[in-house]
Amino acid sequence: MTAFAQPPRTAHVIHSDAEAIAVAHKLAARFAVEASVRDRERRLPVAELDEFSASGLWGITVPKEYGGAGVSYVTVAEVIKIISAADSSLGQIPQNHLGVLDILLQTATEEQKRYYFGKVLQGYRFGNAFSESKSKNAGAFETRIRFDTDTAQIDGEKFYCTGALFAHIVPAVAVNEQNQAFIAFIERDNPGLTVIDSWDGFGQRTTASGGVTLNAVKVPLSAVIPAHKAFDEPTADGPISQIIQAAVDTGIAVGALEETKRYARESRPWIDSGQDHGWQDPFSIAAIGELEWRVHGTEAILKKAGQAIDAALLNANEDTVAHTSVVVAQAKVLSAEIALLASSKLFELAGTRSVLGKHNLDRHWRNARTHTLHDPARWKYHLIGNYLLNGVKPARHAWN
């Protein structure tokens, strides 16, 4: 298992938003080449991830005062979208790494920030051991942390641990006796930490989002942060987790729409249309038009969500964080909707030949259906409506 997490290569340090976008485009073009093969064979993207983190993209949110680029969240969303359009599994893997960087910023000591931000700039990857499949709901944790004089011990069982298999350090969420959540940064080879490659979902197949067991794992106190403070007080951490979700789904939609156009161009004309080519079909053309404006509408709202997060980071209070949650929820609804629509319309507009196994085009729909299940869009309509109609501020947690 440890074979997956090679010691990090020296990572490039990205210095600006524009550089981050340019690097993302360059990487995405390379990742796109074998994305379908990796999905078909469930070949984990070990070499690609090394290239991804060595590019510096995993460190772009490290603030300038700690040596990073401190890019805007408009840029973060754009980067994740670009990578996800090429390979949405690769786009999803840094999701929790980026979320954890903000929790570090919000809740860690100065010394911890210097240490962990430094590691990230060197190319270290954080995985995650957050969610639990057996707890009452997504926000409930049964994994326990017990503090001694100079160490903490963590015991529990995690699932949906995207990135853990490939990580150098696995941040794990555990609660104390007062049910307050902490995050412990556990070295990948720490005794008692076991990462299980058990993810066999039909979509996002190469994320290795399997299980982690924590059996009397001991870490020094310096490796623990009081993560609950990121939600006790109003911070943008929930929206930051969510915008990355929405960016992955927007990327899936963009990738599916590109494939739709490529294959629709080659489709046969319908027998009753009197036309020579499939691309002349007025109904197909209009259907492409429909997908286009919906994709652009989603991208425009994703950008608004990034801007709202940037504003909330500068001025975090109950109102700015509530507003940000609402805008990010809009991005979440729209991206889930268009990812599913585009990846399904693909077949309608490209025709029966597009379902042949050799094309593996179903991966877009499988990825869209799987990734959009992270949290239900139906509750986002409710969150947005409740804020608008009743002035109720969204609950603060990692899913809002």
Partner 1 sequence: MNALTQPIVAEQPLAKSQHDLHNARSLLDATLRFVRQQSKTTDDPFVISRFGDVHIRIEVAAALLERAQEFLNRHEDDSEISVAIAESHLASAQALSTVSDAEFELTGQRTVLPGSLQDPLRWKLHLIGNFRLNGIRPVQLA
Summarize as ranges the residues that interact with partner 1 (CB under 8 A).
Answer: 261, 264-265, 279, 282, 284-290, 292-293, 296-298, 300-301, 303-304, 327, 329-330, 333-334, 378, 380-386, 388-390
**What residue has token string 């492409």?**
288
Shortest gap between Cβ of 390 and partner 1 (angstroms)? 6
Residue (14 or 256) nearer to partner 1, CB: 256
Shortest gap between Cβ of 327 and partner 1 (angstroms)? 8
Shortest gap between Cβ of 85 and partner 1 (angstroms)? 16
Q: Is 390 exposed, middle or buried (0-12, 13-18, 19+ CB in 10 A)?
A: exposed
Shortest gap between Cβ of 268 and partner 1 (angstroms)? 15
Distance CA 131, CA 397 (A): 13
Residue (74 or 193) nearer to partner 1, CB: 74
- Tokens encoding 20: 């981050």
Shortest gap between Cβ of 128 and partner 1 (angstroms)? 29
Within the chain, how many helices (H) and strands (E) appear?
13, 7
Phi, psi of 182 (to 5 degrees): -120, 160
Q: Are 324 and 236 in contact (CB under 8 A)?
A: yes
Residue (42 or 265) nearer to partner 1, CB: 265
Shortest gap between Cβ of 378 and partner 1 (angstroms)? 7
Residue (191 or 297) nearer to partner 1, CB: 297
Residue (32 or 287) nearer to partner 1, CB: 287
- Concatenated DSSP letters for 22-68? HHHHHHHHHHHHTHHHHHHHT---HHHHHHHHHTTGGGTTS-GGGTS
Phi, psi of 183 (to 5 degrees): -120, 125
Distance CA 40, CA 196 (A): 21
Shortest gap between Cβ of 348 and partner 1 (angstroms)? 14
Shortest gap between Cβ of 265 and partner 1 (angstroms)? 7
* SS3 of residue 10 by DSSP: coil
Amino acid at 74: V
Residue (223 or 302) nearer to partner 1, CB: 302
Residue (233 or 258) nearer to partner 1, CB: 258
Shortest gap between Cβ of 298 and partner 1 (angstroms)? 8
Residue (3 or 389) nearer to partner 1, CB: 389
To 10 degrees, the CA torsion angle through 173, 167, 220, 148? Answer: 30
- Tokens encoding 332: 């979440």
Shortest gap between Cβ of 312 and partner 1 (angstroms)? 17
Residue (122 or 386) nearer to partner 1, CB: 386
Laid out side by side, the sheet with 151-158 consists of 193-196, 211-220, 151-158, 144-147, 169-175, 181-187, 224-225
Distance CA 239, CA 375 (A): 13
| Cβ-count burial 217-250 (b if 16+ within 10 Å, e if not) | bbbeeebbbbbbbbbeebbbbbbbbbbbbbbbbb
Distance CA 339, CA 390 (A): 30
Residue (103 or 295) nearer to partner 1, CB: 295
